Structure formats: C-alpha cells, structure tokens
Amino acid sequence: MLKSKDLLGLYSLSAEEITEILDGAEEMKRMLESGGKRSELLKGKTLVTLFYENSTRTRTSFELAGKYLGAHEVNISVATSSVQKGETLIDTGETLDSLKIDFIAIRHPMAGAPALLAKHVKASVLNGGDGMHEHPTQALLDMFTLREHYGRIAGLKVAILGDIKHSRVAMSNLFGLRKLGAEVYMYSPSTMMPKELEKLGAHIASSREEAVDGADAVMGLRIQLERMNGGLFPSLGEYARYFGVNDGVMKYAKKDAVILHPGPVNRGVELTPALIDGDRSLILGQVTNGLAVRMSALRLLSQYRENNNL
C-alpha cells in the first residue's frame, strides 16, 4: 500500500512502495500488450493534467493512462487558462478541487510546487517534474525498464552522464536506484555537478570512462539549455566531444550494457545517433513503460483514496 495520497518524489518513498508501483506496472504492461485499453479500474474518476512546462512523453502518457483505466481526462492548457490572468497555483488547485477532481498530474518550473499544491487540495497530486528537484514517474519507468531487462535492480551499476545539476531525472533515479540496491555513478562537466551528491549515495566519477567502466546501463541526460544562464560549457560540439557518450566510451561498459535516455534527446550531443538508434538502446521502450508505470501509480493512488475515504 502507498502511504500517501500523493506521488511527489522518490526521496520520500520506501523500497516497498517503489516495488509495489513497479509490480503494478508489470500487470499494466501485460494488460496493454494483450490489447486491454478499456479497463474500468478508474471508472468515475477524473484526472487533470496541469503542465506549466512543455512535455510530450509525460503529459501524453498520463492522459492515456487515465483514459485506458476508464477515468475522465481533462488537459488544462496553462497558456489559455486563468493562470495567464495571474491566478495562483493554490487558487487553481482549489478551483479544480471544487470541480471534484480526483487526480492532478502537474509539471512546474518551481521545485516544490507539486508539494505545495498537494497540501491545499483533496485531489491526489502526481509530480510530472518540478524544477531541478524530482521527476518520480520518469525514474520509476527507468527502473521498470532496467528490471524488465535484467530481472533485478539490486547489484546493477548504472552510469548517469550529462547535465546532472539541472536534472530532476538524475535526482529521482539516484534516490530510487539506491533504495533498490543499485550502484549509481555520475559524471558531468564540473560546472554541471552539484556539490555533496556523495552524501545521497552517488559515486562521482572523474572521467566518462571511470563512470562507465563495467556499467550494466548508461543513461544520458539532456543538456537543459532552458535552465542555464549560459557559460557552463564552451559549445555543443565540444560538449559532445569531451562529455558525450559514444562507441569509444561504451567500450568501457559491460559488453551487453544498455543505453537509456529520458528524452527528448539532443541527437549527437549527449549520445551519438548510432547509440540512440542502435541495438542496445532501450529509449523507445522507456516511453512504452512510462505508460504502464503511470497507470500503476494512478491505480495505487486510487486504492489509497478508497481506503482513506478521500
């Protein structure tokens, strides 16, 4: 059983809760693969997607997850909503609550915005990415993809390379992977590496090769130009040459190591196109798994709501 009405981050979830979401996603994936897109598990419930930042994968898969489980699904376009008239996040949340919404999937540029919203609404809030803080469903789908491929998470070496500083995906993966017993190695230009990540359980490598050496999985992270004030690396070309992942770097990983990336990818910057499209890439599978993971999260939160008369 999940212990909270909301899914805000993996820092606050136990290994048991994470495993329960992954186990549920396995069931959801079997259902999807057998053509089951008409479940009634969330019949009569309503899901709102409220995205203050752009998204393709997360928003679409939350919307489809709600639809496939039988919920009503409404997307609020922030660009054409009353947010543009200055409505606050809390007022927007209380307005949605008054419309008897059950779930709000939110993406927001401010770290902590989903937690603030969750405190003020009866609906269950699912964090679809908040600033540089957490992106829990992305990390859950990454872990689901690794578990599906290797049959386990414990004991895997996962190398995460790229813009660690601005990456909510890196943070959520670090929390989740460590809780399930993986070793997490990180590497980025020093200007993109936050201080004291070791205290959270990361190994900070001093080169790409050290990070990737013996890895079971290599995860590239997007250079988040929108969160930078500039000047963190000389040029995209130099970034690719000195910090990107290519065939030469992958020689240090295990022979069958897999490639992950949360997307969207800057092709030829974080990863070479050959690696993105190659046999070892699980990137498109990650997208499919995102649907199963979000279905599982919605279902478990719905059970929490029923058990707690929400």
The contact set with ligand CP (CB under 6 A) reads 55-58, 129, 138, 262-264
Cβ burial, residue 35 (10 Å; 0-12/13-18/19+): exposed
User: Measured from the CB atom, is 101 or 105 closer to ligand CP?
Assistant: 105
User: Measured from the CB atom, is 204 or 298 closer to ligand CP?
Assistant: 298
The long-range contacts involving 122-125, CB below 8 angstroms and separated by at least 24 positions, are 122/97, 122/310, 123/48, 123/93, 123/96, 123/97, 124/5, 124/6, 124/7, 124/301, 124/302, 124/304, 124/305, 124/310, 125/5, 125/6, 125/7, 125/8
Shortest distance in whole angstroms from residue 265 CB to ligand CP: 10
User: Measured from the CB atom, is 138 or 296 closer to ligand CP?
Assistant: 138
Shortest distance in whole angstroms from residue 125 CB to ligand CP: 17
- Pure H helices in 112-246: 113-120, 136-150, 168-179, 208-212, 236-243
Shortest distance in whole angstroms from residue 221 CB to ligand CP: 10
User: Measured from the CB atom, is 55 or 81 closer to ligand CP?
Assistant: 55
Shortest distance in whole angstroms from residue 210 CB to ligand CP: 26
- Rounded Cα–Cα distance for residues 232 and 278 (Å): 30
Contact 271, 261 (CB under 8 A): yes
User: Measured from the CB atom, is 56 or 307 closer to ligand CP?
Assistant: 56
User: Measured from the CB atom, is 124 or 173 closer to ligand CP?
Assistant: 173
Shortest distance in whole angstroms from residue 262 CB to ligand CP: 4
Looking at the DSSP bridge assignments, the partners of residue 303 are none
User: Measured from the CB atom, is 114 or 129 closer to ligand CP?
Assistant: 129
Two structure tokens written together for 283: 């990137």
User: Measured from the CB atom, is 237 or 264 closer to ligand CP?
Assistant: 264
Shortest distance in whole angstroms from residue 63 CB to ligand CP: 11
At which residue do the structure tokens 């050496």 appear? 213
Contact 207, 186 (CB under 8 A): no
Contact 221, 168 (CB under 8 A): no
Shortest distance in whole angstroms from residue 214 CB to ligand CP: 27
Shortest distance in whole angstroms from residue 177 CB to ligand CP: 17
- Rounded Cα–Cα distance for residues 177 and 139 (Å): 8
First to last CA, the chain: 15
Contact 126, 295 (CB under 8 A): no
Paired sense of beta strands 124-130 and 157-161, if any: unpaired
- Pure H helices in 80-228: 89-98, 113-120, 136-150, 168-179, 208-212
- Rounded Cα–Cα distance for residues 116 and 59 (Å): 20
User: Measured from the CB atom, is 136 or 263 closer to ligand CP?
Assistant: 263
Shortest distance in whole angstroms from residue 58 CB to ligand CP: 3
